[in-house]
Chains A and B, each alone.
Chain A
């Protein structure tokens, strides 16, 4: 069974750093792109970027380029999303998702989400 299991909720202060994770299982982790999606409180969905764990090829949405870093450790089938200096506006739910093998831009399995709260 394909599963993406994300790390738990985080509460951080502005200026702190953070790295959240997404562990894949039940499939060949290195063969599928993983994407990250932001959902701010009460709002819609936004693509942040994607990574191919097989070779760490990474693409960022222009809105998030320079704001976050996406990485992966294929030895432990885990993708990451990290911030070096959080802002209150980073408060959101973050989802990872696996891209379909057949259709670029279609994501067929999703993690349960990681809630990040940034507050002083």
Chain B
């Protein structure tokens, strides 16, 4: 299986901050990477697919970049609704795997 490693595991930030989360794959996955947001007690929500394509309806403050083994999710100006846990997920090959998650907390 391809291992996905996110950093940091926890991130403390304030409203208005620029936030960057990194996701590394154990082998090249081209651009076959998605990002999901999960709030406590809720299902994951798709934010980004194919590394940098924004899902319909997702605010433009979210962006993704990268290819190969290193990827980033950036929130340009953190909003109160963005405090959540974020997961990357590779879909280059079966079986798809998620990173361990990055929790974005209020500073």
Q: A interface vs B, CB < 8 Å? A: 37, 44-47, 59, 61-63, 95, 97, 100, 103-108, 110-113
Shortest CB–CB separation between residue A57 and chain B, in angstroms? 14
Complexed CA–CA distance, A71 and B82 (Å): 35
Among A61, A97, A103, A106, max chain B CB count under 10 A is at A106
Q: Which residues of chain A have C-beta atoms less than 8 A from B49's C-beta?
A: 100, 103, 106
In B44-92, the 8 Å CB interface with A consists of 44-46, 49-50, 55, 87, 89-92
Shortest CB–CB separation between residue A80 and chain B, in angstroms? 18
Shortest CB–CB separation between residue B16 and chain A, in angstroms? 28
User: In the complex, are the beta carbons of A44 and B34 less than 8 A apart?
Assistant: no
Partner of A105, one of B34, B38, B42, B87: B34
Partner of B99, one of A44, A47, A61, A111: A44
Q: Which residues of chain B have C-beta atoms less than 8 A from A100's C-beta?
A: 49
Q: Which residues of chain A have C-beta atoms less than 8 A from B44's C-beta?
A: 37, 45, 95, 97, 107, 110
Q: Which residues of chain B have C-beta atoms less than 8 A from A108's C-beta?
A: 46, 55
Complexed CA–CA distance, A108 and B32 (Å): 15
Shortest CB–CB separation between residue A31 and chain B, in angstroms? 18
Question: Ordered nearest first, which 9 A-B pairs have the shortest CB separation?
Answer: A105-B91, A110-B43, A45-B98, A61-B95, A106-B49, A105-B96, A44-B101, A44-B100, A47-B96
Partner of B45, one of A103, A105, A110: A110
Shortest CB–CB separation between residue A24 and chain B, in angstroms? 14
User: In the complex, are the beta carbons of A47 and B95 less than 8 A apart?
Assistant: yes
User: In the complex, are the beta carbons of B50 and A103 less than 8 A apart?
Assistant: yes
User: In the complex, are the beta carbons of B43 and A111 less than 8 A apart?
Assistant: yes
Given contacts A95-B43, A111-B43, A112-B43, contact A106 B99 (CB under 8 A): no
